[in-house]
């Protein structure tokens, strides 16, 4: 019998992206944290548990030694909803297989990779189950599997799901592993699970494979936040659930009291948190129980941090696609849900709650507290050319009615074994690929850009933008949070720094900004010309006529939204 106290374990995080679970940096998912907690609970000392991201292995060959030498190597990863990522690159199947070949000890993999893998992590693709040469594949909870595997002396386990008591214990015991993440502590956001499973059965979605919703008590979630906060984490997202409004209820109807205990408890144990966001909210819940939903949304907007997004799974505005794929909300119902979230959560800090949604020249200069996002999936059964027109008309209606969307997520379906889409596969998505590209570009131009100008007009302040990379003479960064805006800043600034930004211009899904407040007496020409109303000629005059005593010395409309004039000593 193998003594757990003698085992060295390496956890490799290949990153996850599921319908209700995100783990690509700067996010860390629940999987590696819970697995680490399960290992501790099984008797393995914390100091003998090593955690690495797949990007660490790519960047430093020496790290592979931890994979090679471990008595037990645990891989967690898998993509069931593809996307584009900035903070990290999910592991590809050949990389995962190389991990198995490298490991001399026992190897086990789990997470959404259990649903299947394709040739690449992308839409319009089909997948198949594959153990990728690992010794064990956890077909239920990987954390339960590793606990039982250690208990058996590395001989084996039966696939099973952990219970609430185990989850509560393992979530707290595994919080220590965040300190080994390369982004810790300043640029790391923890994905938090409030429930999993879904009462609905959309054709393409893997979330129903977890069964009907199973809710953690507020005390369990709050206890985990407390443990993570003690380890230096200040950024949290309640993203691991199909519908935040249904939390603590019967799986469908809202339960405002449970939300109050959840959000209030989080704020009590982590009073200095910097981000508290969410992800999924089901629009059908909003329209079926509007008064309870309004109260739940009000509670969320009262406790969260600005820029939060409630992702709505409309999936398709085409009624034929809706019926063919067992989707649960019509376009008209989704529109009503968009309106309600705007009215309750679409206010900005410093603005009037009673007049939401707030936008325009008189609106406060922060992002709204909570706005809906829209998820659209293409390649579903019954899709035709008219489907694309239905979707465009829906989005245009939202804009024309003076409402706001934080973002529109358009993707092509991945067909997984065990879902209804497995029979259809990715053929429709492949057939419509060119049409999809044209449509996506049209949405970016006609909806995304003007909507972004409404949500974040020039002068909007984005605090704490983390600088990530350089490109074309600019520095790009993002805030931490749900679907953060990509911000381009003139010039190449030191990466890793954190700056406040004032928005100056808009792309389709990104903005340009300048450091806020920008000092007239030291600003560069590129920074000055980024400000609305200042061309190169005016910027040249500003530089020549330095120093200034106040922003009012410059005759440009609304200049005070962007600049200040610091003491002229040492000015250019």
pLDDT-derived band at 125 (thresholds 50, 70, 90) equals very low
The whole-number pLDDT of residue 256 equals 97
Torsion angle (degrees, nearest 10) of CA 545, 548, 550, 552: -10
CB distance 275 to 369 below 8 Å: no
In this structure, what are the phi and psi dihedrals at residue 293, rounded to the nearest 5 degrees? Answer: -65, -45
pLDDT at 572: 38
pLDDT in tens, 35-44: 999 999 999 9
Q: Is the pLDDT of residue 121 over 60?
A: no
Among 328, 331, 369, smallest CA distance to 348 is for 369
Q: What pLDDT is recorded for position 357?
A: 94
Is pLDDT above 60 for 203?
A: yes
Coil/strand/helix, residue 72: strand
Q: What confidence score (pLDDT) does residue 18 get?
A: 82
pLDDT at 371: 97
Which of 227, 229, 263 is closest to 247 using CA atoms?
A: 263
For the stretch 142-154, pLDDT in tens is 999 999 999 999 9
pLDDT of residue 85: 81
**Secondary structure (DSSP) of 283-298:** HHHHHHSHHHHHHHHH
Q: How many CA atoms lie within 13 A of 393 on its CB side?
A: 10
Average pLDDT, the chain: 91
Distance from C-alpha of 445 to C-alpha of 442, rounded to nearest angstrom = 5
pLDDT of amino acid 124: 47
> CA-CA distance, 288 to 309, in Å (whole number)?
20
User: Does position 64 have pLDDT exceeding 90, yes or no?
Assistant: yes
Q: Tell me, what's the pLDDT at 570?
A: 40
pLDDT of residue 530: 92
Min mean pLDDT across 156-160, 201-205, 392-396, 503-507 is at 201-205
Q: Is the peptide bond before 547 cis (omega within 30 degrees of 0)?
A: yes
150 neighbors 39 (Cβ within 8 angstroms): yes
Taking alpha carbons only, the member of 136, 181, 261 closest to residue 15 is 181
Task: Work out the pLDDT band at 30, boundaries 50, 70, 90.
Answer: very high
Tell me whether residue 564 is exposed, middle or buried, using C-beta atoms within 10 angstroms of its C-beta: 0 to 12, 13 to 18, 19 or more: middle
What DSSP string describes 152-204? TTSS--------HHHHHHHHHHTGGGGGGSTTTTTT-EEEEESEE--S---TT
CA 58 remoteness from chain centre:
23
For residues 311 and 309, give the distance between their C-alpha atoms in angstroms, rounded to a whole number: 6
Alpha carbon separation from 532 to 167, 362, 496 (Å, rounded) = 51, 17, 27
The answer to whether 294 and 344 have CB atoms below 8 angstroms apart is yes
d(CA 76, CA 16): 8
Separation CA 41–CA 166 (nearest Å):
9
Mean pLDDT of all residues in 166-185: 97
Q: What confidence score (pLDDT) does residue 414 get?
A: 74
3-class DSSP state of 425: coil
Sequence-distant (6+) residues with CB within 8 A of 250 are: none
């Amino acid at each position: 019998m193998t003594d757990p106290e003698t085992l060295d374990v390496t956890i490799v995080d290949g990153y996850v992206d599921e319908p209700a679970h995100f783990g690509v940096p700067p996010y860390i998912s629940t999987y590696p944290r819970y697995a680490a907690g399960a290992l501790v609970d099984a008797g393995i000392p914390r100091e003998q548990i090593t955690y690495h991201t797949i990007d660490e292995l790519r960047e430093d060959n020496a790290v592979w030694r931890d994979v090679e030498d471990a008595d037990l190597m645990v891989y967690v990863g898998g993509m069931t909803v593809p996307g584009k990522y900035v903070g990290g690159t999910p592991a590809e199947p050949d990389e995962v297989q190389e991990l198995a070949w490298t490991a001399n000890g026992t190897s086990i993999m789990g997470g959404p990779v259990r649903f299947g893998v394709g040739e690449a992590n992308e839409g319009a693709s089909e997948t198949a189950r594959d153990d990728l040469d690992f010794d064990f594949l956890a077909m239920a909870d990987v954390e339960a599997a590793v606990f039982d595997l250690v208990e058996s002396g590395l001989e084996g386990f039966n696939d099973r799901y952990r219970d609430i008591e185990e989850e509560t214990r393992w979530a707290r015991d595994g919080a220590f592993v965040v300190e080994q993440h390369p982004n810790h502590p300043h640029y790391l956001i923890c994905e938090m699970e409030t429930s999993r499973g879904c009462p609905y059965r959309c054709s393409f979605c893997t979330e129903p494979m977890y069964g009907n919703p199973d809710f953690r008590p507020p005390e369990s979630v709050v206890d985990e936040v407390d443990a993570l906060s003690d380890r230096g984490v200040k950024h949290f997202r309640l993203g691991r659930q199909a519908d935040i409004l249904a939390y603590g209820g019967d799986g469908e109807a809202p339960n405002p009291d449970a939300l109050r205990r959840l959000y209030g408890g989080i704020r009590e144990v982590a009073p200095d948190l910097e981000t508290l966001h969410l992800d999924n909210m089901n629009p059908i819940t909003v329209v079926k129980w509007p008064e309870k939903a309004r109260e739940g949304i009000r509670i969320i907007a009262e406790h969260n941090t600005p820029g939060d997004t409630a992702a709505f799974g409309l999936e398709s505005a085409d009624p034929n696609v809706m019926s063919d794929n067992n989707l649960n909300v019509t376009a008209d119902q989704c529109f009503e849900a968009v309106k309600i979230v705007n009215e309750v959560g679409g206010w900005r800090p410093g603005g009037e709650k009673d007049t939401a949604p707030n936008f325009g020249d008189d609106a406060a200069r922060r992002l709204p507290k909570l706005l809906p996002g829209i998820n659209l999936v293409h390649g579903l059964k019954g899709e035709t050319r008219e489907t694309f027109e239905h979707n465009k008309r829906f989005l245009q209606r939202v804009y024309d009615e003076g409402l706001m969307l934080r973002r529109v997520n358009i993707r092509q379906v991945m067909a997984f074994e065990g879902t209804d889409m497995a029979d259809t596969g990715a053929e429709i998505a492949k057939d419509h690929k060119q049409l999809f590209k044209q449509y996506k570009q049209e949405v970016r131009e006609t909806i995304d850009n003007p909507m972004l100008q409404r949500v974040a007009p020039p002068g909007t302040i984005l605090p704490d933008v983390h600088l990530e990379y350089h490109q074309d003479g600019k520095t790009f960064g993002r805030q931490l949070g749900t679907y953060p805006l990509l911000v381009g800043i003139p010039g190449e600034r030191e990466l890793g720094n954190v700056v406040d930004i004032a928005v100056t211009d808009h792309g389709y899904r990104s903005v340009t900004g300048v450091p806020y407040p920008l000092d007239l007496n030291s600003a560069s020409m590129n920074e000055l010309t980024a400000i609305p109303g200042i061309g190169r000629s005016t910027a040249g005059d500003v530089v020549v006529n330095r120093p200034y005593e106040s922003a009012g010395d410059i005759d440009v409309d609304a200049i005070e939204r962007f600049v200040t004039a610091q003491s002229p000593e040492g000015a250019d």
